[in-house]
Structure 1
Amino acid sequence: MAEYHLAVGPSTPVGVGQGGKGVRAALVFVCARAVGGSEESVVAGAVAVELVHGFSLLHDDIMDGDRWRRHRTAAWVEFGVPAALLTGDALLVRAMRVVERTGSYKAVAVLAEALEGLMLGQSLDLDFERRDQVALEEYRDMAKGKTGALIRAACALGAVLSGAPASTVTALERFGQCAGIAYQCVDDVLGLWGDTQRMGKPVGGDIARGKKTYPLVAALSAGGSAARRVRDLYARSGPWLPDRVAELVRAVEEAGGRAAAEQEAAAQLEHALHHLDRARLPASVRAELAALADGMIHRHR
């Protein structure tokens, strides 16, 4: 079941997106090089963040009722909710065991802190579904945990396992956190205006489930006739049929929700690069990290 969910191994069909994008693991390796460490010394950190990411996606699909992941049915649909929950738990336990075997208490603490942040962010995300209004600052707090916490941990693990000084670890953590918020903003945009074929799951589902994504939060709090139409459409009772979803998505864009989310992603990227400069890294590695962050917000365009 883990092999199926993570899309690794010989049973994974060609074109399913084998292993995912691997952004978090890449950040572990590049941050290790940035502080003079070797890739071999941080493999455990890279494995751990990918396992935690797999755990979070598996449980996230169950909580959100998402039936598709990487161009095929989600693991909970394929194997049932109880088995999928247990598989997610197993991935989480294995991640902690992998880091524990490095003998680094700091690395274990980094991953534990990331898990706390991730679960807080996810709980906020679920809470937002029951609320009519969410402030943009509340959204940032949610994204800081749900997505930013693990990307922050990936950067920290690469540095910590390489013996970097605390000031450098902190700068890289803040870089990762801001990059993570930007990543979530772009994810929200793709969830409404992305390409289903490239994403591997249908677009528009977030609105139907009541998710308060950045474009919707921005549109609900905006002024003007388009924003009023968003509020009216969102408050309307009845099922979320495709035509209603499509109408609301158009209204959100007209109210400036898409542009606001893209601007927030760009602003968070700027913050990330500012923290990267404070880490005082070699120019070549700094450029590699900047390119990774830029790629995170310019994917599937």
Structure 2
Amino acid sequence: MSATVHTLPNARQPSLDPVMALVSKDMQAVNSVILSRMQSDIPLIPELAGHLIAGGGKRMRPMLTLACARLLDYGGTRHHLLAAAVEFIHTATLLHDDVVDGSDLRRGKRTANIIWGNPASVLVGDFLFSRSFELMVEDGSLKVLRILSNASAVIAEGEVNQLTAQRQVSTSEDKYLDIIGSKTAALFAAACRIAAVVAERDEGVELALDSYGRNLGIAFQLVDDAIDYVSDAAQMGKDVGDDFRDGKVTLPVILAYARGSTEERRFWEDAMLGHRVSDDDLSHAKSLLQQHDAIADTLVRARLYARRAIDALAPFPAGQARSALVEAAEFAVARGY
């Protein structure tokens, strides 16, 4: 991949404020759907689901569904149910991820698995997946059902693929991109694409929005993987160095390992196997990443994917919706500065 970086348009610090303002009324309707559909006669289900759903997340994926619908001047309400379905899929995957990873923190709060235990977290995740499919069926579109159900399957494949790559420091960059393309970007892509379906646009529009969401999702995950080594717990909402201690072979590690000396490679092999996980080891890992420009080059790639996302919006008319979606892509990578 070329290292050429296009400067993203926008001199001020990008934020999600424009897209949040664009969809604020629609988001109220989506939140009502989320609140009503996570209810159950079993009190633990809404209690546990509510802990995560109300946990301070930006709800970026459902916002993308709503914003893309606005981009297409869709005037109906089908996207409210579907945006809620997207959020339920995302929340279910988070509950399952935290169990798999043994995470203690998410968005700065204790994870559900730490409070209620792994079995309850897995089962409530299953409940939310089921609710998402109920919402898809209510919409009545087989095409929407196909897009979102396929995304759910691809996310699960990505998580399994990541599990098989865990602690495998020889993981290739291509495999890493396959993993994040599945576990993160697939839902971004689907969230955007279904807006074209409900707006009854042609396949060209569907593919353009799919490309926007997919590239945005990859950029978003690349930045997440970079800031795991350079941010702090308050900013990330999770413990610093979690990926390092969990043996997750992300792009910064792949680059540093490929560029390292024999001794440095041995360090990474030991670290990813869980033999070098002290604070001093994390500090040494950070110094190696810095020395070999692994963080900087990960962010270069993130900016390239963000540019591809922005370019995918070129066929759409200029206006508030397109500007907000452009800035969402800018925001995704600005977090890495």
Letter in 1 for 2:181: K
Asked if 1 retains the 8 angstrom alpha-carbon contact of 2:299 and 2:336, the reply is no
Q: Deviations over 1:160-203 (max 9, x none)?
A: 12212111011110111111110100010121111211222111
Q: Which residue of 2 aligns with 1:30?
A: 67
Residue 288 of structure 1 pairs with residue 324 of structure 2 = yes
Q: 1:153 aligns with which of 183, 190, 211?
A: 190
* Alignment match of 1:273 (pick from 292, 304, 310): 310
Letter in 2 for 1:126: L
Q: 1:299 aligns to what?
A: 335
Native 8 Å contact 2:190 2:210 kept in 1: yes
Q: What is the TM-score when the length of structure 1 is the normalising length? A: 0.90
Q: In the TM superposition, what is the alpha-carbon distance from 1:62 to its structure 2 partner? A: 0.8
**Matched residue SS, 1:36:** coil
Which structure has the higher relative contact order (CA within 8 Å, separation 6+)?
A: 2
- 2-side partners of 1:132 and 1:103: how far apart? 45
Map 1:94-173 to 2 at 5 A. 94-173=131-210
Contact 1:44 1:98 in 2 (8 A): yes
Q: Secondary structure at the match of 1:235?
A: helix
- Distance, in Å, in 2 between the alignment partners of 1:275 and 1:95 is 28
Please say if residues 33 and 285 of structure 1, whose CA atoms lie closer than 8 Å, have aligned partners that are also in contact: yes
Q: List aligned pairs for 1:225-264, cutoff 5 A.
A: 225=261, 228-236=262-270, 238-264=275-301
TM-score (norm 2): 0.81
Give the distance between the partners of 1:265 and 1:92, measured in 2 at CA.
30
Q: Structure 1 vs Structure 2: percent identity of aligned residues? A: 30
**Alpha-carbon distance, 1:282 to partner:** 3.9
The separation in 2 between residues aligned to 1:155 and 1:235, in whole angstroms, is 39
Deviation, 1:235, is: 2.3
Partners of 1:166 and 1:221 in 2: CA distance:
40
**How far did 1:284 drift?**
3.5
Which ranges of structure 1 fall in alignment gaps of 5 or more residues? Answer: 8-15
Quick check: 2:78–2:139 contact (8 Å CA) kept in 1?
Answer: no
Partner of residue 179 from structure 1, selected from 212, 216, 223: 216
Residues 185-232 of structure 1, C-alpha deviations (whole Å, 9 max, x = no match): 001012111121122211101011110111111111125x5xx55413
**8 A Cα contact 1:29 1:39, kept in partner:** no
**Distance in 2 between the 1:117 and 1:245 partners?**
32
Please state how far the C-alpha of 1:244 moved relative to its aligned partner: 1.0
- Structure 1 letter corresponding to 2:163: L
Deviations 1:242-278 (A, max 9, x none): 211221122122111101110110111122122222x
Q: Report the counterpart of residue 258 of structure 2 in structure 1.
A: 221
Give the letter for the 1:293 counterpart. Answer: A
8 A contact 1:34–1:282 mirrored in 2: no
What amino acid is the match of 1:200?
A: G
Q: Distance in 1 between matches of 2:84 and 2:112?
A: 20
Match of 1:2 among 49, 52, 68: 49
Letter of the 1:294 counterpart: E
Count of paired positions: 287
Structure 2 unmatched runs, 5+: 1-47
The superposition leaves residues 42-82 of structure 1 with CA deviations (integer Å, 9 ceiling, x where unpaired) of 10121011111101111111111111112221101100111
